Structure 1
Amino acid sequence: MAPLPLTQKDLEQLADKGISAEQVMGQIHLLRNGAPYARLNRPCTIGDGILNLTEPELKRHTVFYDQESPRRTIIKFVPASGAATRMFEELIQLELTDAFVEPDWIRAKAAKGDRASQTLLTVMRNLPHFAFYDELKKCSTHEEINIGRLQKREHYLRVLRYLLHPVGLDYARLPKGLLLFHRYPEGARTAFEEHLVEAALYAKGKDDTCRLHFTVASGYMARFEALFNHVRRHYESEFGMHLEVHFSTQKSSSDTVATDMNNKPFRLENGRILFRPGGHGALIDNLNRLDGDIIFIKNIDNVVPDGRKPATTRYKKALAGLLLSRQQETFQRLESLHGPSPSEQTLQEIAAFAGHHLGATPPPEITRASQETRRAWLFERLNRPLRVCGMVRNEGEPGGGPFWVEGDDLSVSLQIVENAAVNPSASQQKILKASTHFNPVDLVCATRDFKGKPFDLTRFVNPKSVFIARKSKGERKLNALELPGLWNGAMAHWNTLFVEVPKETFNPVKTITDLLRKEHLTARDAGAPCSHTAS
């Protein structure tokens, strides 16, 4: 690739962000040539890449975790920086429609199947069932007409004004973690608070401490800290534990360069190069700074009220127990490989373990290689971070799924692959469509080696596993680069186990009407609809 025409000011800008010219060149190369597709070998299914734990196995792993957890440093890692804008996308679009002021127009559109209009009617007719309703009412106390009356008189624009904008709750811009999701007799809880409660149920480690780490948008760090300081003592008292919560933001050095339609650095009016956030894959740096024996990873919006937490708690403990058990078995074999030259029988046993229990299949040239070469390959292949990933049966939910993927050396490994990373060819799409499970982001990780030293997680990233998107800045189009996804390319070279978990453990809130599903309602919400199009 030809050298980039970087000016002295460009180099100063890169230095300020902690980005090298070589990184920028590599990113532009990817933007010019496109990201390589994953080579799917076959979908992971029950018995072929996905474990289905029996009742005795669930109990055994749970008991093992309960025995080990008091001696371990346990951390719950929650990406929580995303704004809730997408939750309210349909309402925002309707708000911009002039005809929106006519409720009859909305009802007519809804009757014809217009999704946005149906969403609006569902929200307005069921406002009292949302956990944020009491706070919403407080926003309009200075008005002559209160929220209840606005709702009854179908003044939808004014209600949305208080719900979505800074004059009221400002929910269209706040991070999801700060939104009130569920309500209880003692008051409503935000998604952030539900994660604190969850941690008390399955992530309490040594010293009776629940350690959580949230990655947040820098502009809302103070809001999260204030909320935690406000509720901390209450939850510590209620659940008999100590809460240790930390926050971090995405590093500026993880931003990626944007290019124009000529594949040159996209420049702003002031001449500076445009950099954009590198996506959630950039959070591998945040994860890399954590020092824990066990790290749970879960999205901010996948929480449920207390009455529905037992299933989540049970499977989280079972996955963690399986993680510790498999880690223990792996460490024993690493000790054998690290010592004096192991026998041929030992090498064969370790190779069988790697293939059967870690999905680590050696490439053809390794199976024919010398004993020392095979020993070195096995040691390198086993001496990696370990993750156990819950997988839910695919019932039409969007998102990546578990596959056997071929590497450049013809080895095959377990990977989470997004739909966009699959070649559009008929053969690859056939494998994609044959997938039986999808990724709900339910991970338990071990990031220390067999000597107890933390791995450098950046060493196990597949840098080519990126995503390229067409975006715009004002009226100008640009190409944007997202770094390898946190549980996709950023963990591509981890050792991986996939385990089937029940659908009831996956209840994300992607739209506002998801909060009206039965999975998110409490006893106080009796009678609320469970349908997106309820009337």
Structure 2
Amino acid sequence: MFSQKDKVQIQQRGSRLEVVEGQIENFRKGFPFLKIDDAATTGNGIIQLDEKGIAESGERFEQGMAAGIEPLKFVPASGAASRMFKALFEALEDCKKTDNPDETLIKNASARQFLVNKEKFAFFSDLEKVAGKNDEKKNCRSWIEYLLNEKGLNYGSLPKGLLKFHKYAEGERTPFEEHLVEGAHYAKDNQNVVRLHFTVSPEHLQAFQEILERVKETYEKELNVTFDVSFSQQKPSTDTIAVDLNNEPFREPDGSLLFRPGGHGALIENLNDLDADIIFIKNIDNVVPDHLKEPTIVYKKALAGVLLKFQEIIFRYQKRLNERDAVALESAFLAEAANFLENTLNVKPPENQYYTEKEELYYYLKEKYNRPLRVCGMVKNEGEAGGGPFFSQNPDGTTSLQIVESSQIDPESVQQQNILQNATHFNPVDLVCGVKNYKGEKYNLTEFTDPATGFISKKSKDGKELKAQELPGLWNGAMSNWNTLFVEVPVETFNPVKTVNDLLREQHL
């Protein structure tokens, strides 16, 4: 299948031949659907904190920070904002088919909403400058073209992190800046150092660095912190090979293999390169202006406090199991550890699996406790598309809490679809991660993924259809073998910007 020239190309990308061959096999076999046993709901897999619990968890987090725990905030920020403007791009295409483009745009609901409210957007002053205040030729079509295209702001090609989202008296802020400010309120250590890491595309790295250089000193003075900001790019070795519709390697005109980015699941490699005691993960577009940040800050600290509480218990079990002291094989200890694993961490043993031998149960528990821990905020589902919290069956026969996308569930199974429909909560991507063991040693996060949870989609290049493969999602299969806790968080903490007109919502004005 692969020539010597192909093998050299694969090697130069930092990948391995057996990995690429495995990706080809995935195309041929397809990825299996996950089997879910139940939806996680409040009191059944989802922890609900009352006012006292929120305060206690926040205090536990503050005490941990004072004691020297090192936090870090991780923000995937490499994705292009083009989907934000999908409706506007489509409206421009419709304009090409008519002699009256302005009338066509006004009839398009998304375009009309944008045009009528354009002065309300934080980027309007920039848009007006590039459009020209006295340009008599300026019309509905040109406003949108100046927003999206290279002759104007080029927003259609930039990542979300570089777009101006919010207005302030002193100026406008991008989501990148909002994450700096937000991070200063919960991701600072006892020396007031705020560590943040952003994954960005190589072509936009300089733009992010320029914003940081421009605002860093101002925000540090205003917030009494020091920012330690780092960047990384998705590694070429995590790109996946593309195939044609016959599952043969898709080739460029020069005969070389086509590789495509492996999706956000590839960022597990970037996450694995970081060293911190607690890592907060949040999407780049889920930010709000300062006057609405308080609920997010309160619940971020609460989620971290929950992690510290349960991590302390897990560490005790880890120490006893790993060091195999005199108590490790006692029936009472094994029963206690098994009970916590099954009823608190919600990791159930394989059906009809009974550990009659102490040694057998010991090794099972040791394996399940020696894993990273994540606490995931979950919001009540109000119709948002995307993944949610479920009890899912794993390849080893166990059942555990997983974030599952609807596309991973068999659409032909009435029973599975009924469980999906009964889901009450939604994944807003609000994670706090503990990536070290009881000795303070960092886990190799790439060892805790489920490779069988990838995605296959149809794309095209140069007019030819192809199939692309995404790696297991960062908070889906890439974290499949982590211990997981779900905690309900209020919808006020979830304010994503999926379309440009979402910036007209009260949460962003």
Find 1:65's aligned residue among 61, 68, 76. Answer: 61
Q: Residues of 2 paired with 1:106 and 1:183: CA distance?
A: 26
The aligned counterpart of 1:122 is: 113
Q: Residues of 2 paired with 1:125 and 1:265: CA distance?
A: 48
Q: Residues of 2 paired with 1:353 and 1:303: CA distance?
A: 36
| Residue 407 (structure 1) shift | 2.1
Q: Residues of 2 paired with 1:483 and 1:347: CA distance?
A: 36
1:176-255 alignment, distance < 5 Å: 176-255=160-239
CA deviations over 1:399-451 (Å, ceiling 9, x no partner): 00000011234321000000110012111111111111110000000000111
CA deviations over 1:169-216 (Å, ceiling 9, x no partner): 110001000000001101000010000000011111132111000000
Q: Residues of 2 paired with 1:487 and 1:241: CA distance?
A: 30
Q: Residues of 1 paired with 2:275 and 2:499: CA distance?
A: 34
Q: Is the CA contact (8 Å cut-off) linking 1:366 and 1:377 kept in structure 2? A: no
Give % identity. Answer: 48
Q: Residues of 2 paired with 1:100 and 1:252: CA distance?
A: 45
CA deviations over 1:354-379 (Å, ceiling 9, x no partner): 11221111224653331011111111
Matched to 1:88, the amino acid is F
Find 2:124's aligned residue among 128, 133, 156. Answer: 133
Q: Residues of 2 paired with 1:428 and 1:468: CA distance?
A: 21
Matched to 2:75, the amino acid is V
Q: Is the CA contact (8 Å cut-off) linking 1:210 and 1:243 kept in structure 2? A: yes
Q: Residues of 2 paired with 1:501 and 1:38: CA distance?
A: 26
The aligned counterpart of 1:463 is: 451
How many residues align? The count is 502
The aligned counterpart of 1:533 is: none
Q: Is the CA contact (8 Å cut-off) linking 1:402 and 1:415 kept in structure 2? A: yes
**Closer, same or farther in 2 for the Cα pair 1:506/1:254, shift >3 Å?**
same
| Residue 156 (structure 1) shift | 1.1
The aligned counterpart of 2:78 is: 81
Q: Residues of 2 paired with 1:189 and 1:343: CA distance?
A: 58
The aligned counterpart of 2:359 is: 372
Matched to 1:38, the amino acid is L
1:364-403 alignment, distance < 5 Å: 364=351, 367-403=354-390
Instruction: Compute the TM-score of the two structures, normalised by the length of structure 1.
Output: 0.92
Q: Is the CA contact (8 Å cut-off) linking 1:302 and 1:509 kept in structure 2? A: yes
Q: Residues of 2 paired with 1:398 and 1:206: CA distance?
A: 39
Matched to 1:48, the amino acid is N
Matched to 1:515, the amino acid is L
Q: Residues of 1 paired with 2:402 and 2:350: CA distance?
A: 16
Matched to 1:63, the amino acid is E
Q: Residues of 2 paired with 1:445 and 1:12: CA distance?
A: 37
1:415 aligned counterpart, secondary structure: strand
Q: Is the CA contact (8 Å cut-off) linking 1:73 and 1:205 kept in structure 2? A: yes
Find 2:135's aligned residue among 119, 140, 145. Answer: 145
Q: Does 1:94 align with 2:91?
A: yes
Find 2:317's aligned residue among 309, 333, 347. Answer: 333
The aligned counterpart of 1:437 is: 425
Q: Is the CA contact (8 Å cut-off) linking 2:105 and 2:140 kept in structure 1? A: no
Q: Residues of 2 paired with 1:287 and 1:100: CA distance?
A: 51
| Residue 100 (structure 1) shift | 7.3
Find 1:512's aligned residue among 496, 500, 507. Answer: 500
Find 1:10's aligned residue among 6, 10, 33. Answer: 6
Q: Does 1:360 align with 2:347?
A: yes
Matched to 1:23, the amino acid is V
CA deviations over 1:236-295 (Å, ceiling 9, x no partner): 000000000000000000000111122111111111111110000000000000000000
Matched to 1:257, the amino acid is I
Q: Residues of 1 paired with 2:92 and 2:395: CA distance?
A: 50
Q: Is the CA contact (8 Å cut-off) linking 1:94 and 1:100 kept in structure 2? A: no
Q: For structure 2, which runs of at least 5 residues remain unmatched after alignment?
A: none
Q: Is the CA contact (8 Å cut-off) linking 2:91 and 2:105 kept in structure 1? A: no
| Residue 72 (structure 1) shift | 1.6
1:229 aligned counterpart, secondary structure: helix
1:53 aligned counterpart, secondary structure: coil
Q: Residues of 2 paired with 1:221 and 1:51: CA distance?
A: 39
Q: Residues of 2 paired with 1:66 and 1:173: CA distance?
A: 40
| Root mean square deviation, CA, Å | 1.3
1:329 aligned counterpart, secondary structure: helix
CA deviations over 1:4-40 (Å, ceiling 9, x no partner): x211110110111011110111111110011011011
Q: Does 1:293 align with 2:277?
A: yes
Q: For structure 1, which runs of at least 5 residues remain unmatched after alignment?
A: 110-116, 522-535
CA deviations over 1:485-518 (Å, ceiling 9, x no partner): 0000000000000011100100000001000000
The aligned counterpart of 1:408 is: 395
Q: Residues of 2 paired with 1:494 and 1:463: CA distance?
A: 14
CA deviations over 1:135-171 (Å, ceiling 9, x no partner): 1122134x6427xx94xxxx11211222111222110
